[in-house]
Amino acid sequence: MVNDIPFIGLCILTLSLAFVLRKLLSKSQTKNVPKGSLGYPIIGETLEFLRAQRQDKGYEWIQERVSKYGSVFKTSLMGSPTVFIIGQQGNKFVLGSSDDVISAKKPTTLQKILGKQSIAELVGTRHRLVKGEMLKFLKPECLQNYVKKMDELVNTTLLKELKENKTIEVVRLMKKLAYDMTSNILFDIDQPTREILFADFITSFKAIHSLPINLPGTSFWRGQKARARIVEKILPIMNKRREELSKGVLNSTNDMLSCLLAIRDENDEPLDDDVITDNFVFIFVASHDTSATLMTLMIWKLSRDQEVYNKVLEEQMEILKQRKGNEERLTWGEIQKMKYTWRVAQELMRMIPPLFGGFRKALKDTSYQGYDIPKGWQVYWASCGTHMNKDIFENPHKFDPSRFENQTKSIPPFSYLPFGAGSHNCIGNEFARVKTLTTIHNFVKLYEWSQLNPKETITRQPMPYPSLGLPIEIKPRCNMS
């Protein structure tokens, strides 16, 4: 990652960051900060953490440190000292604290790519305003109107894919499907523009978990360039829709971009362009890769587990059998019948959560379990701290979708976190559910398939994907016309 950086530039950057880090650390020397290692200067333990993620050994990386230092430990990631807080009470502390203590502010890399004014960063009244308007497009009563359109889009894409290929790479296909559903349904972006933006979104996302080294050739540098191109292309679309809104040609309920343009704050002022572009990029990245991950892992699991596959197939075929009249497209009512299929998805997200964890930032000196967390330090929560806890999930290493059916033992708050928790939880969780179920319904309805590399492992970069892209051999289902 750093081998391609010119030596002089790296030296200058290292000295600059060392000065900033020294100021942060000098304040902590007199405090009772958690035990742990800050690793190498500036780089900290970032490379070790990312390497463990790529090998899908993030849980082991954390457990190694928990065994040495306890459930609260310090390290240094993405250029900043960081406190890991593991466990249900720790999740509640990090995700449930007020924004003036533990803020949603992210590391430099995430801020530069996703924007400083996305709903992941906004707090207070501005956060509630923007989130509330976005939720108008993501609540169940709105999603009901999207089902048939989503079903048609997935069906058309899959049929085209099979017509052109007998083997497909599922990761590539699911990323494209998730992206098309978001751009088409939420933002009403036309096909040519979608195609132009797609590659830049992929590049931007890859830069999110990288070192904040902004030199030519680095992942961070490429990600910022890609984000700038996205903003450059979306500004003319924003200006056109703003004009159509003012003339009454377009309604704010048409799409999420028009909705953001129509928002007025407490002073009856519109949102700045930066707020709109930041949230445009954030929603695309958040809704695209998390959904694509889950959809891919569903196909991966169905390829490897015959019992689970048979139950999912039976449920989906029963839905088709019960369909009445001339209805050809999926309905909202049918989505609600996919209970077992969704439990499979829930169990996958428990064992291989799309979101491994998340960063917060201490805006003032605070403490947890007797340890001081200095102002300016990052705080990190991790899903595996509760998802793989045997006191919360019995036999946690066993894949068991039934644990989400008629639970006799309810899951404690802040313990099951595929979509986060607290005021900054994922607002698109229901949208992700409908996208995933629509895609799996079409996949098992239309095709039979086999995995070309049965021993393919999972890697995180930073989302979990099959390491080879999940190539499969695919053919039409025999009983389909």
DSSP string, 90-102: HHHHHHHS-TTTE
Measured in Å, how far apart are the chain's first and last C-alpha atoms?
50
Residue 445, pLDDT > 70, answer: yes
**Backbone φ and ψ of 284, nearest 5°:** -60, -50
pTM: 0.87
Residue 29, pLDDT > 90, answer: no
**Rounded distance between C-alpha atoms, residue 352 and residue 369, angstroms:** 28
What's the sign of the alpha-carbon dihedral 254, 256, 258, 264?
positive
Residue 443, pLDDT > 80, answer: yes
- 274 in a structural domain: yes
Residue 102, pLDDT > 50, answer: yes
Average per-residue pLDDT for the chain: 87
Residue 15, pLDDT > 70, answer: no
Q: Where are the alpha helices (DSSP H) in 253-328?
A: 256-262, 273-304, 306-322
Mean pLDDT of 265-287: 87
- Considering only the C-alpha atoms of the chain, give the largest distance between any 2 of them, rounded to a whole number of Å: 74
Q: How far is CA 35 from CA 72, 85, 95, 128, 291, in A?
A: 8, 12, 22, 37, 36
DSSP 264: B
Position 404 scores a pLDDT of 92
Position 204 scores a pLDDT of 87
- 458 in a structural domain: yes
Q: How far is CA 185 from CA 175, 181, 236, 291, 376, in A?
A: 15, 6, 20, 14, 39
How many folded domains does the chain comprise? Answer: 1
Residue 366's CATH number: 1.10.630.10
3-state SS string over 43-89? CECHHHHHHHHHCCCHHHHHHHHHHHHCCEEEEEECCEEEEEECCHH
Lowest mean pLDDT: which of 4-8, 53-57, 293-297?
A: 4-8
Cβ-contact 374, 31 below 8 angstroms: yes
**Which band of pLDDT confidence, cut at 50, 70 and 90, is reported for residue 341?**
very high
**Backbone φ and ψ of 167, nearest 5°:** -125, 140
- 1 in a structural domain: no
**Which band of pLDDT confidence, cut at 50, 70 and 90, is reported for residue 451?**
very high
Q: How far is CA 32 from CA 28, 37, 38, 73, 90, in A?
A: 8, 14, 15, 12, 18
Mean pLDDT of 219-240: 92
pLDDT in tens, 123-162: 888 888 888 888 888 888 888 989 999 999 999 988 887 7
Q: If you search the block for the tokens 């058309």, which residue do you land on?
A: 156
Greatest mean pLDDT among 15-29, 167-181, 208-222: 167-181
Position 476 scores a pLDDT of 87
**Which band of pLDDT confidence, cut at 50, 70 and 90, is reported for residue 2?**
very low
What is the CB neighbour count within 10 angstroms for residue 455? 7
- 2 in a structural domain: no
More confident residue, 269 or 421: 269
Position 131 scores a pLDDT of 87
Position 119 scores a pLDDT of 85
Contacts of 184 (CB under 8 A, 6+ apart): 149, 153, 194
Q: If you search the block for the tokens 């209970």, which residue do you land on?
A: 339
- 296 in a structural domain: yes
pLDDT in tens, 305-332: 999 999 999 999 999 999 877 778 899 9
- 14 in a structural domain: yes
Contacts of 73 (CB under 8 A, 6+ apart): 34, 35, 36, 65, 66, 83, 84
Is 426 assigned a ligand-binding role in the annotation? yes
- 221 in a structural domain: yes
Range of the domain at 160: 7-476
- 370 in a structural domain: yes
Position 86 scores a pLDDT of 96
Position 440 scores a pLDDT of 97
